[in-house]
Amino acid sequence: MKRVSTTVLALVGGRDEEQRRELVQDLARGANVRAFLAEPELDALQRAVDAWRSAATAHVPYLVHDADPLAAVTAAWVALFDQAGAPGELEVAVAGTVQRWRAGSLELPDYYLVLDPEDLGVTQRHWYLGVLHGTSPHRVVPVEAYPEAVAWAVRRLRAGRWWPDVPALLDGIERRVPDRLHGPDAGAAPRPVSDDDAGSLLR
């Protein structure tokens, strides 16, 4: 695990890639925030490698990007439990991600900002607000996809335990069954930071 002095934020979820990129750029209007927008045509792992390289050389309090280092694993895990994945797809995604992590080419962000989680598919929502949130609760922040709400969420980030090493985090991930397959998870997911929250602070 390699840590840098910059606090790294990854925006995930939301309506689409264009919306995430716009919110990244909105955050970067602050003097203490630098944005990194990964090339959309690159595969998920290369995007994450490029984002980590930018973070490692950043000399600002915050770097925000749209290149989730676990994107390939997330997609394969969701496909597995939605019965849409090819055999071995998750294993390949985990192996590739762990290989890049061991080489020091990527690292998890300090915080995931999960945009409009209620609009995500059930399995994808459980990945972020179940699997990842359950591992490091303060490092997964659900937030409505409005610039003011996202900016307010960043100002209100709380310290918490760091992520486990990526191999430990992903060990046995194929056995982490979404709650929708074995029972309800009512009340467990945190409430998203909303535009109303931001408005109450800004007024």
Using one digit for the tens of pLDDT, what is the confidence trace for 33-56? 999 999 999 999 999 999 999 999
Contact 101, 95 (CB under 8 A): no
Q: Does the pLDDT at position 119 exceed 80?
A: yes
Q: What is the tens place of the pLDDT at every residue in 124-151? A: 999 999 999 999 999 999 999 999 999 9
Q: What is the model's pTM?
A: 0.88
User: Which pLDDT does position 31 carry in this prediction?
Assistant: 80
Domains of the chain (ranges, CATH numbers)? 7-202 (3.40.50)
pLDDT of residue 188 exceeding 50: no
Rounded Cα gap, residues 181 and 179, in angstroms: 5
**What was the pLDDT predicted at 88?**
94
Q: How far apart are CA 23 and CA 152, in angstroms?
A: 13
The answer on pLDDT for 190 being more than 70 is: no
Q: Where are the alpha helices (DSSP H) in the chain?
A: 17-27, 44-56, 71-81, 89-102, 122-126, 133-135, 147-155, 166-170, 195-202
Share of the chain above pLDDT 90, in %: 78
Amino acid at residue number 139: R
